[in-house]
Amino acid sequence: MGDDDALRKVADEAFATVAAEADEHVGVVARVTRDAPGALPGSGTGEVLLDAAWGLADRRHGLAMTPRHRFATASGCKGFTALAVLSLVADGTLDLTTTARSLLHDDLPLVDDAVTVEHLLSHRSGIGEYLDDDADVSEYLMPVPVHALVDPEDYLPILDGHPQAFAPGSAFAYCNGGFVVLSVLAQRAAGVPFHELVRTRVLEPAGTTSTGYPRSDALPGDAAVGYVRVGGQWRSNVHHLPVVGGGDGGAYTTTLDMERFWGALLGGRIVPQELVARMRRAPEGAGDGDGYGLGLWLRDHDAVALEGMDTGVSFWSTHEPATGLTWTVAGTTADAAWPVVRALREVLEG
């Protein structure tokens, strides 16, 4: 089935804007499908409105981006972390009221003893942040060599030393460190490595066969490379991010896998429906954080979304039950995806 002509036109024009701001080699991929309202995506029966790619997946080898390329998600995979944790809640290994301190013991002493799993999942823990999301993405932001960041426990030295910003549960503040702490808690509670937990409890039940956490210095051939402009030259982001993605970001996926993910999540195939409903509800008393549940961004009309931006990465994926629309956009720079996201949103949401 071919692309919708109008949608392809606005996407092409948006990519032209991306290319004008960067260059014609920046890579972008986008897919939009429509199922019946209320139907679950990912079955392959939906109408394909757009399935397109532009630019290059690999500048060094001149490889064109294709709709089937894997791409990095940055913080988009916080949803995977949340589901791995909630799968442990479902089997009784953890509870939403479990305190971080009960598993951290003497580690990270500045984390308030009252911080719970639910606080961390909803960005309401108030723990000090280890990563400045507002910093220039061309800077080398990791305070330790990135090749040393493989296991969640490797992050403990850089998570330490950041004072509590506010009392747990009293406010919303997006916190990468909170999701790294969740990855530590999950693997300590389960006695299973975090990446194995995500694979067996989230990705395999979802049928997402092209999604995972490859090393950035050993990417598979179908993975797009992220880029950052340093000193006027485009360079790979391999020296900017942890060599293996973790609790707060870094997984790779495909547009097809994201459709399968949304269908599996909303269909209760990863965690039970009562926990899915909890993910899709802002915490009681939430104010500024009303747009966030547990590991998911909450949008109008009961839609859910995952979003990520980092050095060499831009990612957006959403499912809208009311319209049956599922769409994912990703780019190989921190800015590449957003003009396409805005253009598609204007058409799809009127």
Q: Which residues contact 288 (CB under 8 A, 6 or more apart)?
A: 171, 172
Question: Residues 247, 149: contact at Cβ < 8 Å?
Answer: no
Per-residue H/E/C for 275-323: HHHHHCCCCCCCCCCCCECCCCEECHHHCEEEEEEECCEEEEEEEECCC
Ramachandran angles phi, psi of 322, nearest 5°: -65, -30
Calculate helix-pair angle for 337-348, 5-21, nearest 10 degrees: 150
Ramachandran angles phi, psi of 31, nearest 5°: -145, 135
What rounded mean pLDDT belongs to the chain? 95
Which tens digit of pLDDT belongs to each residue from 132-179?
A: 877 787 887 788 999 999 999 999 999 999 999 999 999 999 999 999
Which tens digit of pLDDT belongs to each residue from 82-126?
A: 999 999 999 999 999 999 999 999 999 999 999 999 999 999 999
Residue with tokens 């982001």: 237
Quick one: pLDDT band at residue 36, thresholds 50, 70, 90? very high
How many Cβ atoms from other residues are within 10 Å of residue 211's Cβ?
Answer: 25
Question: What is the rounded CA–CA span in Å between residue 133 and residue 128?
Answer: 13
Start-to-end CA span in the chain (Å): 24
Query: Is the pLDDT confidence value at 337 over 50?
Result: yes
Running DSSP on this structure, what letter comes out for residue 246?
B
State the pLDDT at residue 287: 54
State the pLDDT at residue 52: 97
Does residue 284 or residue 310 have the better pLDDT?
Answer: 310
State the pLDDT at residue 92: 98
Query: Is the pLDDT confidence value at 230 over 50?
Result: yes
The percent of residues above 70 in pLDDT, for the chain, comes to 97
Q: How many helices (H) and strands (E) does the chain have?
A: 11, 12
| 262 token code pair | 């949304």
Question: Residues 320, 46: contact at Cβ < 8 Å?
Answer: no
Element (H, E) at 342: helix 337-348
State the pLDDT at residue 133: 74
State the pLDDT at residue 1: 41
**289 CA to centre of own chain:** 18
Q: What's the whole-model pTM score?
A: 0.96
Mean pLDDT of the region 181-194: 98
State the pLDDT at residue 290: 56
Mean pLDDT of the region 10-25: 95
Running DSSP on this structure, what letter comes out for residue 336?
T
Does residue 44 or residue 78 have the better pLDDT?
Answer: 78
Residue with tokens 């406010």: 171
Query: Is the pLDDT confidence value at 289 over 60?
Result: no
| CA-closest candidate to residue 242, choices 59, 74, 70 | 74
State the pLDDT at residue 285: 63
The alpha carbon torsion through 256, 262, 267, 270 (nearest 10 deg) reads 90
Question: Residues 43, 263: contact at Cβ < 8 Å?
Answer: yes
The residues pairing with 144 across neighbouring beta strands, listed in sequence order, are none
State the pLDDT at residue 2: 56
Question: What is the rounded CA–CA span in Å between residue 226 and residue 222?
Answer: 13
Mean pLDDT of the region 46-75: 97
